[in-house]
Structure 1
Amino acid sequence: MLKTIPWLLLLLPLTKSYAEQETIQQTDNETESAIENSELLTEEQIISPRNRNEFLRQCYIRVPAQVPSTETRPDEQIPVNIDALSVSGSKAKFIYQDDVYLKQGDKNLSADKMTYFVDQERATAEGNVNFVNGELTLYSDDLETNLNNDQTTLNQADYQFHGQGGRGTADRIYDNGLDLYELNASSYTACPPEDTTWRLDATTLYIDNTEEMGSAYNAVLRVKDVPVFYFPYISYPLTDKRKTGLLFPSVEYANTNGFTYTQPLYINIAPNMDATITPTYMQNRGTKLAAEYRYLFDSGKGSLQGEYLGNDKIRGYDRYLYHWDHNVSFGQGWNFNAKYNKVSDDYYFTDLDTEYGDRSDNQLLQTAKLSYRQESWNSELEVRDFQILGSGDTPHSVMPKLAFSAYRPIDWKSLQLDLYSEITQFGHDDEDVYTGTRIHIEPKLSLPLYYNSMFVNTELKYMLSFYEQDLPDSNKESWYSDLERTVTRNLPSFKINSGVNFERDFSFMGSNYRQTLVPQVQYLYVPYQNQSAIGTYDTTSLQQDYYGLFRDNRYSGYDRIADANQVTLGISSSFLDNNGKEKMRFAIGQNYYIESSKVHLPDSDNISETSRSSLVGEFDMNFKNNYFVHAGIEWDTDNNQIKRANATLEKRWLYNTFAQVNYRYLGFSEDNELAIDEDEVVNQLGAKANWSINSQWTAFASYYHDLEYNQTFESIIGVQYQSCCWAVGLTIDEHMLAYYGDLSDITSTRETEQSIKLNIELMGLGGVGFSSGDQGLFDYGRPFYLK
C-alpha cells in the first residue's frame, strides 16, 4: 500500500512514502551490519543524523516499551485480583482504601481509594489514580467505569503512549467502550518526558482506534507556550492508514523567487494509488500548480507528474513540466518500462524547484521499451528521444528499434555462438537533417579457454549493416554531400586476448597480504572500409580508460566501426588483506598501432599518424580502513600532453560522515577527435564534507572552483541541529546559474543565485517553517572501485 506524510500524526511517528520506506529499511540494515562488524560504537556514531530511527529510539529511552497483549480471553473471563490495606462495605458496595492495587491480565490500576457498586456494576477510583497496560500509562485525579459496557471517564488526566513519542493532558477523557475516545481540553506533544518545546492544544480531540483515525477541533500549535498556528478542524490517521487532507505547508525565501509558499493536498484514491496536488506561490514569479499520481501493482509501479506556471512574471512566458515513470512485468518474461521527461524551456530546473530534476540536468530522456526474455534469447521494441537543454545539438530520435539477441553454446570445448540483430528507424525534428533506417546483423563465435592461471579468449565476428537514408534537399552541413541514400557495409573482426593470473603472499609492516598480477595482451584486427557515406545517428567517441583499451570499437553505436590492426598491452594488480578485502589496485595499459586507423567522425580532424594511443593508468587505494585515494590519467606520450586526469582523496567515518577533495582535468578527447578548444578545457577543483560534530550537530559544505576561468561554480555551507523534540537546519548557498553561451565570455556574463534557507522540524509533527529543498550542482561522487 502507498503511504504518505499525514498533516498531523499525533499518536505515532510520521509515515514516509513507500519509496522512502525502502531507504529507511536499507539504512537500518546498513547500521546493523556496521554494528555487527565493528567495536562498541560511541554515542555520536549511534545517534548521528544518518540513522534517524536509532536516534529516536535513544530519545525515548525513558518511555516504557510497548508490550502487545498476549491475552486472548475477553475481559469478563480474566480474573481480577485486588489488594488493599483496608476493605469495608456491604452487599451493595465495597470500598477499598490505602494502597489499592488491581490487576487483570496485563492491566494494572492503583489508587488511594476504590469503590465498587455491586448492583450497578460500576466502579470508581479516587486519588493518585494510575492505570498501566502494554500500550499506555494514565494518571488521573479520579476514574469511573461501567463494567457492563466498558465505558470509562477520567478527569484531570495525564497520558503517555509506550514505545513512542506521544503524551499529553486532558481535563476529561471518555472511553465509550468501543475503542472511541473523546478528550476534552487536551494537549499533545511528541517530545520526550521533561521536554515540551512544542505542543498541540485542542478543545476536543477524538481518537477512533477502530477506524484508525483521529480528529481535533479548535487546535492551536504552541512553541514554548507561544501560539504559532490555529487549525479550526483537523483529521489524521493514527497508523499507516492514508487519508485525504492537507499536508504540512512549507515556505522559503531566495533572492530571485522571493517569498515562496507551498501547500500540498493529499488525495487517497485507493489502497494502491494516490495523488497529491501542490500549489506553490512565488512572490516574483506567480503560482505554480503541480499534480502527482502514483500507482502500485503486484507486477510493477509508476508515477505521473505535471507542473504548470502560467505567465512567469520574470521570464514572461508559460512554464511546464511532464514526467512519467512506469515499470511493469507481466506474463512470463515480458516487461514494459517507460520514462518520459519534458520541460517548457532550458532554464526550468534552474529557476524552479522540483523533485523530478535538478539544475545540473541538460538532457531529458523520453523512452519506452517492451522486452521479452527467455533463457537463450531475448527481444525488445524501443522508442527513444531526448530533450536537450541549452545550445547542444539535438540527437536523432529512435522511432522505433526492434532488436533480437540469441546465445547458443556449441558442444565443443567452450565454443559459443552469439547473435545480435536490430532494425532501427531514426528521425529528427529538423527537416534539414538527414534521417534513415539501419539494419544491423552481427553473429559472433567466441572461444574462452582457461588453463590453470592462464586464459586465452578468441572472438570472430561478422558485422553486416544496411542503411537507407532520407537526405535533405539543402545541405545543413558541408559533410552531408558525402552521404548516400543507400549504403551496405560488411566487416569481419578478429580478436584474441590472453593473460596470466599470478599470485603471491607477502608481509608488510606486520600484516599479511596477497597480491594478484595480471599482465595481458590483445590483438585486434578490423579491415578498413570507407564509411563517410553513412550519417551518425547514435554514434560518438567513447572516453578512454584502462578497460576501454580492450574494446572492439572506440565508438558507440554502429554508424562508425573503426578499422584496427593493433596490439594492446596492459597490466593490473590487486592487493588483498587476510579477510579478502581489496586494499589497493592499479592498472596501466596502451594500444600500439601496426596501422593507424583511418575511420573518423564527420567534421573531426584527420587521424594523426601515430604509432600508439595514449597511456592510460588508474590507481585506487584504501589505507587505514577509512582513507581512500583514487587517481586516473590519460597521457599522450607522443606529444607529451595530458588529455585527461582526475584525483580524489577522501576520509570516511560511520553514517555518511566524510571529507573529500577532488580534482579533474579534461583537455583533449581520444585521438584528438572533437578536440576541445582552449577556452573549453575543464580544470576544476572541488571539495565536499559532511561532518557529525556530535550526537546533535552536523555541518556540511560543498565548494567547486574552475581554475581555468577562476570562477566559483558552487559554494554551500550549512549546519543542522537535531534534538529529541525538534530540529533546525540553516544553509547558505551561492551557485552559478546554467550558462549556455560562449564559454570565453563566462566571466563577464555569468549569473549567480544566492539564498539563505532555514528548515525547522517538530519531531512527530512534520516539517514547518522554511524548506531547504535544494541540491548542489555537483552530486557526491564515490569514484572508488574499492569497497
Structure 2
Amino acid sequence: MSRVRFAPTPLALVAFAMLHGGVAHAQAEPPLVLKPSPQLREDIPATTRNRLPTFLSGREVHGTPDLNAVAEGNAQLRRGDMVIMADRLEYYAPDDLAKAQGNVHINRAGNVFEGERLQLKVESFEGFFDETRYRLLRNDAYGQADRVDFLDDKRSIVRNATYTTCRRKPGPSWMPDWILRADSIRIDEEDETGQAGGAVLSFMGVPVLPVPSVSFPLTDKRKSGLLPPTIGLDNLSGLEVTLPYYWNIAPNRDATIYPTLMTKRGLDLGAEFRYLETNYQGRIRGNYLPNDPLREDDRWGFAMLHSGAFSTAAGPVALNLNLNRVSDDNYWKDFSRTTASLTQRLLANDGALYWGRGNFTLTARALKWQTLQDVTAPIVPPYDRLPQIVGRHVRNDLPGGFESFLEADYSNFQSDPVLNNQPNGQRTYALAQISRPWQKPGWFVIPKLQLHATQYQFAAPLSTGAESASRALPTFSLDGGLVLERDATYFGRNFRQTLEPRAFYVYTPFRDQNFLPNYDSAQKDFNFATIYTENEFSGNDRIADNNKLTLGVSTRLLDPDSGAEAARFGVALRSRFEDQLVTLPGAVPASDRLSDILFGASVNWVASWSTDAMVQYDPQTGRSIRSTLGGRYSPAPYRVLSAAYRLQRAQPASEQLDLGWQWPLNDLWRQPDDRLGPGRGLGEGRWYSVGRLNWSLADKKLVDTIVGLEYDAGCWLGRIVFERLQSGTSTANKRVLFQLEFVGFTRIGSNALQTLRENIPRYQFLREQITQPSRFSNYD
C-alpha cells in the first residue's frame, strides 16, 4: 500500500480531499471559502449530504489512499455546513470517522463546541467530545461540560453541564448572573427543546429553583411540560402560587392546566383547551374552587369561544358561540382577572347560526345574559333574545343604478319584568330601503327612501291595556357633498389639501311610540359618524321623528407622495326644524333648533407625534358638553408617552385624566446609540419606567393605577409592577407582580407582561424574537 506525504509550505495550505465512500487524489490548492447560498439556508437533505465531499487541510497532510488522512498544524475538516478545526486531525474513510486533538473547535450550522479531544462519525454525527465549551445559535446560549455525547445531527447529551444565555466576558473569574447547573442536558434541535436532569437554577450566586427535571425551549416553539410557577400577592386572595402544565396535544390543539393555591381561599383548579381546525377554531376555559372560606361556597367560572362552519344540504352554515357563566354575583369582584367579559357584570351567552346564498343571508341567534348584581349599585338586566331570527337581502346592481336593502327581524325578548318595569314580548320588525347614488370625482348625491314596519305581541297587557301594538312609518334622506383639492404649503411643507363640505337632510313623520316598551333601543353617541345617520336611536324600538338638516365641513392635509394624512379638521352641527316628540323612557324631548356643535381635529404632523381632539360645544350655555383630547409621543422604540383628557358634563358626569408610558430611565432625553432592533431592547444595563394612571378630577382620586419598573440586564429581565383596579364605588383589587425572565430559558414570578401589554398603549416587549437566526450568521 503506497503512502503519500506532503511537506508544509508557508505560502499555501495543502488540501487533501476525499469523496465520502471513495478516495480522490491528493492535490495542492488554496483553502476552500464557503459562501451562503439559498440552497444551504435550510437543513441539508440526507440524500444530498451523502454526496457532499469532505475537505481536509493543514500545514502538513499525509495519508493512505482509500484508507485515512492526517492533517497537522491548523488542521481543518469541512463537509457541508460543518467544520472541525484542531492541532491534529485524523480521518478514516471506511468508517467515516474523524479524530481531533488539541484546541478542537467544531461548528455545525452555527452551533459551536470547543475542547481538547473529539471523536466523531462525520456523516451520522455520532461521537463524543471531552472537556467541552459550547454555544447554541438559536438562543445564543453558552455552557461547558465534562463531556458531550453526539447522538445524531439533531440530538446531543451534555453531561455535568452548565447553561446560560449571559454573554461571555473576559477574565478568569467571570460568573454569569444566572446559570443552570445540571447532571445532564439533552439538546434536541428537531424538537427545539432542552431537557435538564438534576438541575439547579442560580441567580446572582443564589440557588432559586432546584428541580430534579426541567424542560425548556430553545426557541418559542410549543412543547409539553411543566411551566414555571407564577407567584402573585392579592389583597383579596392573599398569596397566589400557580403551577401550570402545558400539554401540546397536536400542532393545532393544546391545553393548559393551571392549579392555583391561594392562602386565603384554597386551591382553585383551572384549565384551558384551544383548538384550530380547517373549518373551525375555539377556546374553552374553566375554573373550580371548592368551598371558598371567604364566601363559604363553591366557586366556578366557565367561558367558551367558538367560530367555524359546517356543511348542510342547503350549503355551508357558520356557527359562532360566546358562552360565559360564573357561580355567583360576587365572582366579578373576587376574580376580576378571570371573568371572561369586558363588562364583567354582564356575561353574555350568545350562540348564532349564519347561512347565506347570493344576496340573501339568514341568522338564527340565542342570547341569554347573566347579570351579576351588586346591592350597592344594582343594574337593570338587559333582555335575553330567545330566539332572534334575522334575514337580509342586498342588491347593489339594480337597473338604473338603484340599490336596495331588505331586513326582517323576529325577536322574543325575556327578562325580569319587575326590574325592567315592562312586560316581556315578541317583536317582528321589517325595513325596506331603496337608494340611487350619484357619485363622480369631486361630488356625490345619495337620495334614500326607507319604510319601517313593526308588530308587537306582549306577554302581559301594557298600562294602556293593549296586548299587541303595531307601527309603520317612512323615512326620506338626502346625502350630498363635495371633495375639492388643491396644492398647499404650510410651514415649509407641501401638501395636497382637501375641502369637503357635506349636507345631510332626513325626514321621518311622527308616530306615537312612547307607550311602546323599550327592549333594545338606546341613544346613539353624538359624534361625526352618527350625526349623518337617519335614526338617532340604536335598536328597533324607537324610530326618531325627524325634520333635520346636518351641515358639516372637513379639510385634510395629505402628503402628495405617499397619500398619508398629516392633519384633519372638521366641524358639524344639526338643525332641527320641528320639536322632538319620540323619546326614550324618562328622557326629555329636545326642542332646541340647533344642536350642539361638533369640533374635531387629528394631527399627525410627524411620525413621533399624534394628537386627536373632539369637542361637543353647547352654544346656548357657551361651554362644552363633552370634550376629549388625546396625544401620543413615540420618538423611538421603547419610548412612548400617551395622555388623554375626557370631560362629560351630562349624566353621568365625569372628568378624567389618563396617562400611560414606557420610557428608559438611563437615557431620559438622549436616544442611545446601541439600538438592537425590534424585540431586543435598547441595550443591557437599562431601567425602564412603565405605567398607566387614571385620575378622576371630579373625585380627586386615582381610579385605576398600574406603575412598575423593568430592568434589562442583557441575559435576564426583571419586572416589578403594582396594580390597583377599581371593583366598586368604594372597593379596589390590589396586586404586586414580580417577574424574572431568564432570556432563552424561562420566566418565574407573576405574569406581569400580560398586565403591561393589556393596559399600556403601544407597550413593547423588551425581548421578542422577530426572525429566526441564520446558521450562516455564525459560520467559520
| Shift in CA distance, 383/120, structure 1 to aligned 2, threshold 3 Å | closer
Preserved contact between residue 494 and residue 525 of structure 1 (Cα < 8 Å): yes
Structure 1 residue aligned with 2:675: none
Structure 2 residue aligned with 1:743: none
Question: Is 1:170 paired with 2:141?
Answer: no
Preserved contact between residue 333 and residue 374 of structure 1 (Cα < 8 Å): no
Question: Is 1:111 paired with 2:86?
Answer: yes
Preserved contact between residue 353 and residue 774 of structure 1 (Cα < 8 Å): no
Structure 2 residue aligned with 1:63: none
Paired with 2:533 and 2:465, the residues of 1 have a C-alpha distance of: 27
Task: Give the 3-state SS of the residue equivalent to 1:595 in structure 2.
Answer: coil
Paired with 1:733 and 1:87, the residues of 2 have a C-alpha distance of: 69
Question: Is 1:619 paired with 2:601?
Answer: yes
Question: Is 1:159 paired with 2:148?
Answer: no
Structure 1 residue aligned with 2:688: 698
| Shift in CA distance, 404/729, structure 1 to aligned 2, threshold 3 Å | same
Q: CA deviation at 1:526?
A: 1.0
Paired with 1:610 and 1:148, the residues of 2 have a C-alpha distance of: 88
Report the residue type matching 1:109 in the other structure.
Answer: I
Question: Is 1:127 paired with 2:102?
Answer: yes
Range moving further from structure 2, 540-549 or 444-453: 444-453
Q: CA deviation at 1:721?
A: 1.6
Structure 1 residue aligned with 2:3: none
Structure 2 residue aligned with 1:299: 279
Q: CA deviation at 1:238?
A: 5.9
Q: Of 379, 394, 404, which residue of structure 2 is paired with 1:407? A: 394
Structure 1 residue aligned with 2:11: none
Instruction: Write out aligned runs for 1:293-692 (5 A).
Output: 293-331=273-311, 334-352=317-335, 354=337, 357=340, 361-389=344-372, 390=374, 391-409=378-396, 411-429=398-416, 433-450=422-439, 452-471=441-460, 481-482=463-464, 484-579=466-561, 580-605=563-588, 607-640=589-622, 642-655=624-637, 657-668=639-650, 676=651, 680-692=652-664
Paired with 1:290 and 1:95, the residues of 2 have a C-alpha distance of: 62
Range moving further from structure 2, 354-363 or 270-279: 354-363
Structure 2 residue aligned with 1:716: 706
Question: Is 1:764 paired with 2:744?
Answer: yes
Paired with 2:529 and 2:73, the residues of 1 have a C-alpha distance of: 84
Range moving further from structure 2, 220-229 or 531-540: 220-229
Q: CA deviation at 1:172?
A: 1.6
Give ranges in structure 1 of 5+ residues lacking alignment. Answer: 1-65, 473-479, 669-675, 740-749, 783-787
Deviations 1:381-420 (A, max 9, x none): 1122333344211011111111111122465432222211
Structure 2 residue aligned with 1:83: 57
Paired with 1:464 and 1:76, the residues of 2 have a C-alpha distance of: 78
Structure 2 residue aligned with 1:192: 167
Preserved contact between residue 483 and residue 499 of structure 2 (Cα < 8 Å): yes
| Shift in CA distance, 282/565, structure 1 to aligned 2, threshold 3 Å | same
| Shift in CA distance, 766/430, structure 1 to aligned 2, threshold 3 Å | farther
Q: Of 214, 228, 242, which residue of structure 2 is paired with 1:248? A: 228
Q: CA deviation at 1:503?
A: 2.5
Task: Give the 3-state SS of the residue equivalent to 1:648 in structure 2.
Answer: strand
Report the residue type matching 1:83 in the other structure.
Answer: S
Q: CA deviation at 1:142?
A: 1.2
Report the residue type matching 2:717 in the other structure.
Answer: A
Q: How many residues get paired?
A: 689
Paired with 2:248 and 2:44, the residues of 1 have a C-alpha distance of: 34
Report the residue type matching 1:729 in the other structure.
Answer: R
| Shift in CA distance, 119/590, structure 1 to aligned 2, threshold 3 Å | closer
Deviations 1:606-650 (A, max 9, x none): x14332322222222223443233222223334545332222233
Question: Is 1:726 paired with 2:716?
Answer: yes
| Shift in CA distance, 594/181, structure 1 to aligned 2, threshold 3 Å | closer
Task: Give the 3-state SS of the residue equivalent to 1:441 in structure 2.
Answer: strand
Task: Give the 3-state SS of the residue equivalent to 2:728 in structure 1.
Answer: coil
Q: CA deviation at 1:353?
A: 5.8
| Shift in CA distance, 368/591, structure 1 to aligned 2, threshold 3 Å | same
Structure 2 residue aligned with 1:53: none
| Shift in CA distance, 482/130, structure 1 to aligned 2, threshold 3 Å | same
Q: CA deviation at 1:327?
A: 0.9
Preserved contact between residue 240 and residue 261 of structure 2 (Cα < 8 Å): yes
Q: CA deviation at 1:514?
A: 2.7
Task: Give the 3-state SS of the residue equivalent to 1:604 in structure 2.
Answer: coil
Give ranges in structure 2 of 5+ residues lacking alignment. Answer: 1-39, 170-174, 668-681, 763-780
Paired with 1:183 and 1:778, the residues of 2 have a C-alpha distance of: 40
Task: Give the 3-state SS of the residue equivalent to 2:631 in structure 1.
Answer: strand
Preserved contact between residue 216 and residue 746 of structure 2 (Cα < 8 Å): no
Range moving further from structure 2, 276-285 or 77-86: 77-86
Paired with 1:777 and 1:99, the residues of 2 have a C-alpha distance of: 52
Paired with 2:230 and 2:121, the residues of 1 have a C-alpha distance of: 46
Preserved contact between residue 267 and residue 274 of structure 1 (Cα < 8 Å): yes
Structure 2 residue aligned with 1:274: 254
| Shift in CA distance, 230/599, structure 1 to aligned 2, threshold 3 Å | same
Task: Give the 3-state SS of the residue equivalent to 1:132 in structure 2.
Answer: strand
Paired with 2:248 and 2:753, the residues of 1 have a C-alpha distance of: 25
Range moving further from structure 2, 114-123 or 224-233: 114-123
Paired with 1:86 and 1:543, the residues of 2 have a C-alpha distance of: 85
Q: CA deviation at 1:350?
A: 4.0
| Shift in CA distance, 160/781, structure 1 to aligned 2, threshold 3 Å | closer
Paired with 1:132 and 1:489, the residues of 2 have a C-alpha distance of: 81
Report the residue type matching 2:720 in the other structure.
Answer: L
Paired with 1:767 and 1:312, the residues of 2 have a C-alpha distance of: 29
Paired with 2:693 and 2:411, the residues of 1 have a C-alpha distance of: 44
Paired with 1:145 and 1:504, the residues of 2 have a C-alpha distance of: 74
Structure 2 residue aligned with 1:42: none
Q: CA deviation at 1:123?
A: 5.1
Task: Give the 3-state SS of the residue equivalent to 1:268 in structure 2.
Answer: strand
| Shift in CA distance, 320/759, structure 1 to aligned 2, threshold 3 Å | same
| Shift in CA distance, 157/447, structure 1 to aligned 2, threshold 3 Å | same
Preserved contact between residue 482 and residue 532 of structure 1 (Cα < 8 Å): no
CA RMSD, 1 decimal: 3.2
Q: CA deviation at 1:96?
A: 4.8
Paired with 2:482 and 2:42, the residues of 1 have a C-alpha distance of: 62
Deviations 1:718-764 (A, max 9, x none): 2212233100112233443323xxxxxxxxxx234444332110011
Preserved contact between residue 453 and residue 473 of structure 2 (Cα < 8 Å): yes
Preserved contact between residue 573 and residue 598 of structure 2 (Cα < 8 Å): yes
Paired with 1:701 and 1:301, the residues of 2 have a C-alpha distance of: 34
TM-score by length of 1: 0.80
* Identity across the alignment (%): 26
Q: CA deviation at 1:349?
A: 4.2
